Amino acid sequence: MERTLTVADVQAFGQKLIGNLEKVIVGKRQVLEHTIIGLLCQGHMLIEDVPGVGKTMLARALAKSLGCSFNRIQFTPDMLPSDVTGVSIFNQMTRDFEYRPGPINAQVILADEINRATPKTQSALLEAMEEHQVTVDGVTHPLLRPFMVMATQNPIEYEGTFPLPEAQLDRFLLRIRLGYPSADDEMKIMEEQQFEHPINAIQPVVSVDELTQMQEAVKQVFVSPAVKRYIVDLTRATRDNQDVYLGASPRGSLGLFRAGQVRAALDGRDYVLPDDIKALSEFVLAHRIVINPAARLKNLTAAQIVKEIVQNLPVPGGLLSKV
C-alpha cells in the first residue's frame, strides 16, 4: 500500500530541487521558488529579462535536476509552425504518411526569444501549452508528461520582435524576472565558473515519477471559501479598474488558486493564507491584463496596477495577514 504524501514531502521535494538549482543560479531564491511553483502547478513560465542573466541556464538546470528530456527552440522571424510541431512525411516504402516529431516533443521546452517569431508560429504553441498535444495534418499527437514551456523574451529590444498576443500570454502561469545579481553574487559566479560551468556537473535529484506524485499531492492543500472569494475579488478588480482595457481571465483566478496551494505546501502548510495570494498576485496576474493608452501616458505598468489593487482590496474577514 502506497504512503499518502504530505505537505512535508512537498516541502522536502522543493528544498531538494531548489538546493540543486542554486548550484547554477546564484542568489535568486525567490525566482527558484517561483519556478518550482510553476512546475508543481503543471504551468508554464515566461521569463522576461535582459540578456546574460541566466534565463537559459535556469531552464537547462531544471531539466537536468529532474532527469527530463530538454529541447531548446530558438525562435526567429522565418520559423514556420511545422518547425515547432513537426511534419508528416510520405514514406514510399509503406505508402503512408509518417509523423516526424518537432522540438516541442520534450518534457522541458526552452522557447528562447519567443517574441521574435511571427504570430503564426507563436500560435503553434497554443494547443501544446493548454492541451498538451499537437495537431499536424488533422492528426492529434499527445506530448510527453510532465510538460513545461519556459519562454524567454528581451523587454528592451523591440526591433524585429512581435508582441505576444493575449491568448499566448494567458497560457503562462507566471511571468518572472531574474534581474542582475548583487556584487557579491557576481563575484561568486566568476569564481564558480573559472574552470568549468556548474551546469556540466549538475545531476538529477528527483525522478519524473516523484514529480508527478508531488503535482497531485499539492492539490490536496485546503483553500477556504473566504480565500477563494479573495482570489476572485482580486481578479475581478483588474477588470473593473479604470486604467485597464482588458482584465485578467478566469484562468488567472485558477492560476492564483493553484499557485497559492503550492506556495503553502512549500512553506510546510496544508492550508492557503491570503499572504500566499498577495505574494503571487503580481507574478500571476500582471501579464494577463492590458492597460489602456491613457495609463501608458502616465507611465503606469500592469505590475503597478496589480500592486495597487492588492493594497486597496480588503483581506477577507476573520483571516489574519502579515502583509
CATH code, 36: 3.40.50.300
In a shared domain, residues 131 and 237: no
Q: How far apart are CA 300 and CA 120, in angstroms?
A: 30
Backbone angles phi, psi at 73, to 5 degrees: -110, 115
In a domain, 320, yes or no: no
Q: What is the pLDDT of residue 323?
A: 41
What is the spatial distance between Cα 93 and Cα 9, in angstroms, rounded to a whole number? Answer: 52
Query: Is there a single domain that holds both residue 175 and residue 27?
Result: yes
Q: List per-residue pLDDT tens for the chain, 323 residues long.
A: 456 788 899 999 999 999 999 999 998 999 999 999 999 999 999 998 888 888 889 999 999 999 888 999 999 989 999 999 988 888 888 888 888 899 999 999 999 999 888 888 888 888 899 899 998 888 888 998 899 999 998 876 666 678 888 888 899 999 999 889 999 999 999 998 888 888 988 999 999 999 999 999 999 999 999 999 999 999 999 998 888 888 899 999 999 999 999 999 999 999 999 999 999 999 999 999 988 888 888 888 889 999 999 999 988 765 444 44
**Close Cβ partners of 37 (under 8 Å, ≥ 6 residues apart):** 174, 259, 262, 263, 266, 280
pLDDT at position 299, please? 84
- Asked whether residue 131 falls in the same domain as residue 12, the answer is yes
Same structural domain for residues 124 and 173? yes
174-176 sheet: strands from edge to edge? 70-74, 108-112, 148-153, 45-48, 174-176
Of the candidates 49, 109, 123, the residue with the CA atom closest to the CA atom of residue 79 = 123
Domain count, the chain: 2
**Structural domain contains residue 278:** yes
pLDDT value for 322: 42
Query: Does the pTM of the predicted model rise above 0.75?
Result: yes
Cα 99 from Cα 86, distance rounded (Å): 7
> Is 134 found in the same domain as 82?
yes
